[in-house]
Amino acid sequence: MKIGEKIRRLRMQHNLTQEELADRCELSKGFISQVERELTSPSIATLVDILDALGTNLSDFFTNELPEKVVFSKSDVSVKSNEELRNEIHWIIPNAQKNAMEPILVHLGAQGQTAFDHPHDGEEFGYVLKGQIYLHFGSKKVRVRSGEAFYFTAQASHYISNASEKPASVLWVSTPPSF
């Protein structure tokens, strides 16, 4: 098995550059390049860090067939409630923070909102399932109603809020994961 070649394939499946993978592992781009070209071998600890950033582990990496779970149920969901912000975040895909995208369900109570998110590399997509929300993006505030979607590059601070007394629900997908 060529470890570097397999790391390269995994990195490309996650649409990561060598520099992005290196940043996630606190390594240099040059080191990642050398590993992928089989010019050097990472230590076990470094390999664990690289695989963790690629959403896998030693056992799965060295297994020829990687079973991939593609369907997730309610039992896979983890929930975090924030009473102060009056929101509930449902992570609908386990360990999605290791993937290229992170889909979540956001439930906003009356006058609820998500936490303020600073500008970052990546993109944000949302689809309002129920109610209506306001998308706060930089200095803009835009109303988004049930059945409507939003999409933007995350180059400005952003969050969503519910100005209504009725609950609102949003399917939100962030890339790279940021929740």
Per-residue pLDDT tens over the stretch 41-53: 999 999 999 999 9
- The pLDDT value recorded for residue 178 is 67
- Cα gap 144→127, rounded to integer Å: 9
- The pLDDT value recorded for residue 76 is 86
pTM of the entire structure?
A: 0.62
- Cα gap 51→14, rounded to integer Å: 12
- The pLDDT value recorded for residue 101 is 87
- Cα gap 154→160, rounded to integer Å: 13
pLDDT digits 0-9 by tens, 93-149: 887 666 788 899 999 999 999 999 999 889 999 999 999 999 999 999 999 999 999
Q: 11 — alpha (psi -120 to 50), left (phi > 0) or beta?
A: alpha
* Domains, the chain, with CATH or none: 3-61 (1.10.260.40), 74-175 (2.60.120.10)
pLDDT reading at 160 higher than 60: yes
Q: 131 — alpha (psi -120 to 50), left (phi > 0) or beta?
A: left
Structure token digits, residue 41 = 């071998």
Structure token digits, residue 131 = 């109610």
pLDDT reading at 172 higher than 80: yes
What share of residues in the chain are helix, strand, coil (percent, to 5)?
25, 30, 40
| Average pLDDT estimate for 75-88 | 93
The alpha carbon of residue 147 and the mean position of all alpha carbons in its chain are separated, in whole angstroms, by 23
CA nearest 6: which of 60, 69, 43? 60
